[in-house]
Amino acid sequence: MLNHLTHERLIELGLSGMAKAFEEQRRLPDLEAMPFEDRIGLLVDREAAERDTRRLTMRLKIAALRQNACVEDVDLRTPRGIDRAVFAKLVEGRWIDRHENLLVTGATGLGKSWLAGALGHKACRDNRSVLYHRVPRLFEALALARGDGRYPRLLKSLGRAQLLILDDWGLSVLTAAERRDLLEILEDRHGRASTIVTSQLPVDTWHGAIGDPTVADAILDRLVHNAHRLQLSGESMRKRSAKTIALDGQPSP
C-alpha cells in the first residue's frame, strides 16, 4: 500500500520519470541489494532523461521542420561540395552561439532543405529554439497576420528563435511588402540570432532577386557579411537515388 501511495504521489508531483523507475525497481528484486544512494540516483537519472525527452519533443513540434533529417544520416561520401571539416563545425553549433548565418545554395535535388533540416534538428537536440519556414508560405502568413492583427506577434516569434530556417528563398522577385517583411525579420535577428537560408540561386544574384537596390543592400548587409556558405554541386540526389533503385531495387541510404 505504501509503495502504491509513493507511486501516486510522484505522479501528482509531476515526476513521471521517477514514478516509472520506482515501479521498475519494485519489479526487479536484484535491485534491493543496490545501495540506497545508487537507487535514488537511478530515479533521478530517469526523471532527468524523461524531462529532456519532453523538452526535445516540444522544441521539434514548435520548429515544424519539413524534413525528418538528422546530421548523423548526412551523406558525406557523395560528391556535393560539402567539406567534412566545415560541416563538422556547423554540426558543433558554436556559430549559432556567435549569431552567425548559413547560406546553402545549389541546384534542385542536391539536398539543401534536408541539410538545413538536419542542422535544425541538431540545434533542437542542443537545447536551442528553432523555427522552419518555406519563404513563399511565410510571406503569405505575414500578409494574413498583417490583416488580422497578429503581425507584431508573428514578427516577435520569428525574431526570438535562436535559429530560423528560411527555405526556398529566391523563387520569385520580392514584392514591396515582402521586401519590408524580410528586412524587418533580419533587422530583429541581426547580431542576436542565426538564420539558415537555402536557395537555388547563387548568392551573387540575390541582390537582383530582392528587386529594390536600396532595400537589397540593407537585407544582404544583415544576412551575408557574417555568413558561412555551403555551395552544393553535382548530380541531383533524387536522380542518383532513382538510379540506385533501378539497379538493385533498393533506395540508397
Residue 2 has pLDDT above 70, yes or no: no
HSE at residue 237, side-chain half, CA atoms within 13 A, is 22
Q: What is the pLDDT of residues 149-176, one digit of tens each?
A: 999 999 999 999 999 999 999 888 999 9
DSSP 74: -
| pLDDT band, residue 80 (cuts 50/70/90) | confident
Instruction: Give which of 197, 248, 251, 229 is closest to 86, Cα–Cα.
Output: 229
Q: What are the Cα distances from residue 96, in Å, to 52, 80, 227?
A: 21, 24, 11
* Residue entry with cell 537555402: 198
The average pLDDT across 79-100 equals: 93
